[in-house]
Structure 1
């Protein structure tokens, strides 16, 4: 267990990738451009450490990318004096494999839970819809989610839920049908993670409806609503796919230029 008793948030950067229409995550350097016609996506699970619990907001791609696997997040946790056994709770914004792939691995030739002692919190309706499909992406990933369904300590969330006093979730839809925003507020620290609805820092001041979203206009609307919430109530935002400054606050608003931002440093143990 981490020695610090203070509450803090830290990004557990997993890497930066070029992702084309084939949905393959090809590793690139953080400052490199993606391949032509591809998206550039960084992966930043969020650790929130409190004296009582260690939360993860999304958990990375696991073994489903190029040169990826559980050793990355283990090393990131080790930097905080933690192991995979110290994670008490994992909250998932949605069920795309670059957000949930880190839940299990096959380092020893068979599926094992990466965080064996964690409660796994998921949208009830989202999980039911995923498990009702004949295939989740492909045969390998279908086997993966079937293992999670059978072995993980699953807890199902309603469309508005508050499993802990400091932690709330709310369905926002948009990127996926049952997409959730994850909200942490202990009275002193406030963090907001909205998955791919606010996937990058630049998304805050862009008005766009992405064709890859389940409901593009809903994503746009919720992005604007959540930005206003973060600004009005002082939440630090985590942009899961941001490659440079995934943690930031909104400090000012101008009708012409939008929000001003302030980068927040990820906690680094002394």
Structure 2
């Protein structure tokens, strides 16, 4: 496994793989890797012989500087996991390498409509930063395939739209959420929970499952079900941030022609914001 920090060295290595006709799968991450990330890698290795993973905590997508500063960084442990998973290249650039002139004058990519709703409203600039860094990494790696988790449902929808709109010849592979035995969606943020909070955390998924059952029995007005879910989370020790039920294809309001809705959950447990989602057939 090669650990590369310099973009030109990365390009040279990619060129060598390309000249021998090998397909490349790419998994961009912010590190602090867990089994969910490894699942992305394993899925990608089914379709490509060369696996490239990036580790970069992207300052452009953090609107909270304290959140950026406190984001867990576990490089040495990450390297061991990636080597064990059979990764060929780990690209670990610095912020100075990615944004040599700073963020203020950096060209950016923005996907309209999909980036403006839901999480985009709650976290201004987040998806612009995400779209920009993913595009930049795509340009550097030139992958044939790229894997993203369905846990970040809105992010995945934005990336699919961006790749389509920009004519990028990249196959986007959506990988289902990996959960612990108790139902908790795996996340790097889980490491910030204390022992007591880890016992409470699976409630988010349980409430989501109950909400999913409720909406399949209802018309388009889900307010009562959302209120019930909000109360269940509050009683369990969460501080709900957002519970939305939208069309799974457009991320807009569910309507009479909607075939699939997606429940999007976000709630604080202490200072840690957890998210989850579930697609429901209507």
Richer in helix (by share): 2
Same fold (TM over 0.5): no
Richer in strand (by share): 1
Instruction: Choose 1 or 2 for highest CA Rg.
Output: 2
